[in-house]
A and B are shown apart, each in its own frame.
Chain A
Amino acid sequence: SAVISQKPSRDICQRGTSLTIQCQVDSQVTMMFWYRQQPGQSLTLIATANQGSEATYESGFVIDKFPISRPNLTFSTLTVSNMSPEDSSIYLCSVRFMSSYEQYFGPGTRLTVT
């Protein structure tokens, strides 16, 4: 398993600003992912964070809006840019080891945009 921490745990932001969320894992993992969970909804995959290269985005998500970095095997950031109230959501970091099906989640960052 893996222990995952996220910062911040929650934030309230103004429309038009940007927020960077950090994800730190206690072990070197192969795969890191970012998900969004809107109120009362299930999880939607935003992108796969690739070490040392550009993230792989899912349909409906673009790099300009959600730039992602992954400088090493234990750390990643997700930025939510030019925020609007529709971006209010829980953002979750998730990790998986290549040889395993198990996928683990961080505690999430609860974002409210006013």
Chain B
Amino acid sequence: TQLLEQSPQFLSIQEGENLTVYCNSSSVFSSLQWYRQEPGEGPVLLVTVVTGGEVKKLKRLTFQFGDARKDSSLHITAAQPGDTGLYLCAGGRSGGSNYKLTFGKGTLLTVNP
């Protein structure tokens, strides 16, 4: 079974603080995706990383894929209340019709004004 461990599970911070969420596995993934899910909504895709060592930036969010493609991190700079939500990482393996995502358990982030 491929496991994706996310940490921390819960995070409550003040507006303006920085934070990092980690996603770790012993397995190698073809790709890794980060989603944000708000209450009552489906997960919204934030980014996909596919190359070891890859770094992608989305405004105040920075995503990194580990060199060995086994881990990833999400860093948020100057967090805002609108960043509140459940952050999920998902790793993909195999290709074509056999490609499937394995999800981590998520990090529930609360940004207090």
Known interface pairs A102-B33, A103-B101, A110-B40; A42-B88 also in contact (CB < 8 Å): yes
- Interface residues contributed by chain A, number (CB under 8 Å): 22
B30, A31: Cβ atoms under 8 Å? Answer: no
B45, A101: Cβ atoms under 8 Å? Answer: no
B42, A108: Cβ atoms under 8 Å? Answer: yes
User: How distant is the Cα of A106 from the Cα of B41 in the complex, in angstroms?
Assistant: 8
Q: Which residues of chain A in 37-53 are interfacial with respect to chain B, using CB atoms and an 8 Å cutoff?
A: 41-45, 48
Residues of chain B whose beta carbon lies under 8 Å from any beta carbon of chain A: 30-31, 33, 35, 40-45, 48, 50, 88, 90, 92, 96-97, 99-101, 103-106
Beyond known contacts A105-B44, A110-B40: 13 more, CB 8 A cutoff: A4-B42, A42-B103, A43-B103, A44-B103, A45-B101, A98-B96, A101-B30, A101-B33, A103-B92, A105-B42, A105-B43, A107-B42, A108-B40
